[in-house]
Amino acid sequence: MGTLVSDEAKSWIGRSAPSWTIEIHRSDIVKYSIATEQRLDKYRNGDEAPPLFLYGALRVLAPIDELGPDGLALDAFLPDLPLKRVMAGGTKSHYHRTVKPGDVLVATRTFSAITEKQGSSGPLIFIEYELNVTTDNGEPVMSETLTRIVR
């Protein structure tokens, strides 16, 4: 083992993708709350976003011809690796405060780790990203560690 992750791939550790900014509208919270059958009035009225709201709100919108076979936007923030199939490996989220209408949020994703392991069906590469979401004046909103498995 130890031959799949090149020095070039390791050099990505600490690299951040360009940040992106989104403004949260009450109508977005209401639509999400209806779609996910929220029961609390604070969500259904759009006064506060349910915790999982950010998963959809931060998702990249892409034309259908730019989607991968899994239906998700292709991720260009990935080093060149000899293995090509990328799968979800888990998410750990910490919410610092609730999301409210009128918030302007800034999200930054940083490549934080890459390791190689041997699985029962062959070699695997584990990649971790840190996603940090703050308000536009720097107040922490959410921090998340995302793991991707490449096989």
User: For 89-131, how does the pLDDT look when each residue is reduced to its tens digit (9 = 90+)?
Assistant: 999 999 999 999 999 999 999 999 999 998 888 999 999 999 9
Q: Model's pTM, two decimal places?
A: 0.86
**Number of domains the chain is built from:** 1
Domain-embedded: residue 32: yes
- pLDDT, position 147: 95
pLDDT tens digits along 39-50: 999 999 999 999
17 within domain boundaries: yes
Is 90 exceeded by the pLDDT of residue 1? no
Residue 87 domain flag: yes
- Residue 74: CATH number of its domain: 3.10.129.10
Q: Which domain holds residue 85?
A: 7-150
Q: Does residue 1 lie in a domain region?
A: no
Q: Is residue 84 part of a domain?
A: yes
CA 30: distance to chain centroid? 22
Cβ atoms of 50 and 32 closer than 8 Å: yes
Residue 97 lies in a domain: yes
Average pLDDT, the chain: 92
2 falls within a domain:
no
Alpha carbon dihedral 26, 30, 31, 33, in 10-degree steps, equals 140
| % of the chain residues with pLDDT over 70 | 98
